[in-house]
């Protein structure tokens, strides 16, 4: 049973229940979409697993990893509303929404947010989106601002472009879990697009047992560590295929569940290195057979934290490049068509699983910088010069610089 720790520390996920429906209060938006809600969800899954596969390339056997693909996708979708040309095309491709219109994408994200806001007894997931920009330099294009506010429930601020104010906004929307993500603004930043998500849910079964004195100090292969375990007897969906175990831990809120995948005899790291990620994707996408299997489950409690992870290397690896280059086109964002690019994209995550359930918080920030529209010119070879009068160009001095290091 100690072997279970491997997958939990590398790839624990909470996800929306597959048998979801398009929220009924937003039919006016769904008409604008090429995709229906189930197709949209499938595309987001594919995008998420591609990001996960890229991130797994950078972790070693006993490294931990947690990130939120959905939080990244929210930020990319907001950026898409201010982009056009190659920049927009790449964002849509990375999200696997190549054939979807921006308005259709907006409708689907609006529906996704609405589904989390439906009145029930749980309120497990809270999503917030915001756009902050330097109002002294630029003004948001009115259509862009309306799309952010309408489709993403976004808040837009042109008069609060200070790190303290932005960090306070993030802290308020994550109940103080995430603070001080934005460093001191040095005058070069133009905008920040921000998503926050706060998740909290209790297990469906409250018969989990734990003891602070039950500390395990080795894994099944002898790796030395220390962690606290918890135990339960549970009836749940469970399957074994090709030496891989998969099972589901349900919450009281039926919209979410935790899926655990663990190689039965094989080493997880070897599987990740020797095979493509497809073996795991099949479990992540397909429904676990709807049969109740009784498990006597002994598993670790754990808390994972990612402090300000730089997302740009991963996003470039999955195909998002133009967004970070000087020729990026985000001119749909500002009314004066200021050229800008994304130069920072960071995420902070906290994820804790224990005998009570799961608590997770995440903030993703894309920081945009203004790009000079000037022609790039570097004088690094011999040249001529003339100091002359402005009106009639009478030379006062003429010369040639062959080696600026000489006098």
Query: Is residue 210 a contact partner of residue 256, using CB atoms and an 8 Å limit?
Result: no
Label residue 7 by pLDDT band (50, 70, 90).
very low
Q: What pLDDT shows up at residue 389?
A: 65
- Residue 122 CA to residue 351 CA, distance in Å, equals 19
Pairwise CA distance, residues 178 & 172, whole Å: 9
Q: How far apart are CA 233 and CA 293, in angstroms?
A: 10
Q: What is the reported pLDDT for 259?
A: 87
Average pLDDT of the residues in 175-181: 91
Between 228 and 282, the more confident residue is 228
Print burial letters for 132-149: b (CB count within 10 Å at least 16), e (below 16): bbbeebbebbeebbebbe
DSSP tally for the chain: helices H, then strands E: 11, 15
Average pLDDT rounded to a whole number, residues 249-261:
88
Task: Give the model confidence (pLDDT) of 69-83 as tens digits.
Answer: 999 999 999 999 999
On the CB side of 94, CA atoms within 13 Å amount to: 30
The angle formed by the CA atoms of residues 80, 56 and 54, to the nearest 5 degrees, is 35
Q: Report whether 130 contacts 191 (CB < 8 A).
A: no
pLDDT at 306 over 90: no
For 243, counting Cβ atoms within 10 Å of its Cβ (0-12 exposed, 13-18 middle, 19+ buried), the class is exposed
Is the separation of the CB atoms in 318 and 368 below 8 Å? no
Across the chain, mean pLDDT equals 83
Residue 386: φ, ψ to 5°: -145, 125
Which pLDDT score is estimated for 11? 33
Query: How far is 407 from 404, CA to CA, in rounded Å?
Result: 7
Token duo for residue 360: 């997770």
Question: Average pLDDT of 187-214?
Answer: 84
Report pLDDT for 277. Answer: 65
Evaluate if residue 298 carries a pLDDT over 60.
Answer: yes
Length of the chain: 407
pLDDT in tens, 134-152: 999 899 999 999 999 999 9
Domains of the chain: 2-202+302-370 (3.30.497.10)
Task: Tell whether the model's pLDDT for residue 27 goes beyond 50.
Answer: no
* pLDDT tens-digit readout, 333-381: 998 878 899 999 999 999 999 999 999 999 999 999 988 756 667 788 8
Q: Which distant-in-sequence residues (6+ apart) come within 8 Å of 279 by Cβ? A: 242, 244, 271
Residues 6+ apart with CB under 8 A from 79: 91, 193, 323, 330, 342, 366
Q: Give CA separation, 7 vs 49, 219, 376, in Å.
A: 15, 12, 49
**Cβ neighbours of residue 22 closer than 8 Å, sequence gap 6 or more:** 30, 36, 37, 111
Mean pLDDT to the nearest integer, 248-274 = 80
294 vs 232: CA distance, rounded Å: 10
- The whole-model pTM stands at 0.85
Give me the mean pLDDT over the 12-16 stretch: 36
pLDDT at 232 over 50: yes
């Amino acid at each position: 049973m100690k072997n279970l720790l491997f997958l939990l520390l590398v790839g624990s996920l909470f996800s929306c229940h597959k048998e979801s429906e398009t929220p009924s209060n937003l039919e006016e938006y769904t008409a604008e979409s090429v995709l229906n809600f189930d197709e949209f969800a499938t595309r987001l899954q594919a995008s998420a697993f591609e990001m996960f596969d890229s991130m797994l390339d950078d972790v070693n056997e006993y490294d931990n990893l947690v990130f939120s693909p959905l939080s990244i996708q929210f930020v990319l979708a907001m950026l898409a509303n201010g982009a056009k040309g190659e920049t927009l095309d790449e964002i849509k491709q990375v999200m696997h929404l190549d054939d979807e219109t921006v308005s259709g994408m907006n409708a689907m994200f609006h529906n996704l947010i609405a589904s989390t806001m439906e009145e029930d007894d749980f309120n497990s997931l809270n999503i917030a989106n915001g756009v902050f920009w330097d109002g002294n330099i630029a003004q948001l294009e009115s259509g862009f601002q309306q799309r952010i506010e309408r489709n993403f429930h976004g808040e837009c601020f042109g008069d609060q472009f200070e790190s303290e104010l932005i960090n306070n906004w993030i802290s308020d929307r994550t109940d103080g879990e995430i603070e001080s993500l934005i460093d001191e603004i040095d005058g070069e930043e133009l905008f920040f697009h921000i998503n926050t998500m706060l998740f909290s849910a209790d297990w469906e079964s409250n018969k989990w047992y734990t003891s602070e004195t039950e500390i395990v100090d080795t894994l099944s292969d002898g790796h030395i560590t220390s962690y606290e375990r918890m135990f339960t007897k549970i009836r749940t969906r469970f399957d074994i295929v090709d030496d891989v175990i998969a099972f589901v831990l349900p919450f009281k809120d039926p919209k979410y569940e935790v899926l655990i995948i663990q190689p039965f005899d094989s080493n997880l790291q070897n599987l990740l290195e020797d095979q493509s990620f497809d073996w795991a994707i099949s479990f992540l996408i397909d429904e676990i057979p709807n049969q109740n299997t009784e498990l006597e489950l002994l598993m670790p409690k754990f808390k994972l934290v990612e402090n300000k992870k730089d997302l740009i290397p991963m996003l470039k690896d999955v195909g998002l490049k133009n967004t970070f280059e000087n020729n990026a086109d985000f001119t749909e964002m500002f009314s004066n068509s200021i050229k800008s690019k994304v130069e920072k994209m960071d995420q902070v995550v906290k994820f804790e699983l224990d005998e009570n359930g799961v608590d997770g918080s995440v903030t993703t920030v894309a920081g945009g910088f203004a790009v000079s529209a000037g022609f790039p010119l570097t004088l690094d070879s011999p040249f001529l010069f003339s100091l002359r009068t402005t009106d009639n160009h009478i030379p006062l001095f003429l010369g040639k610089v062959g080696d600026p290091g000489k006098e």
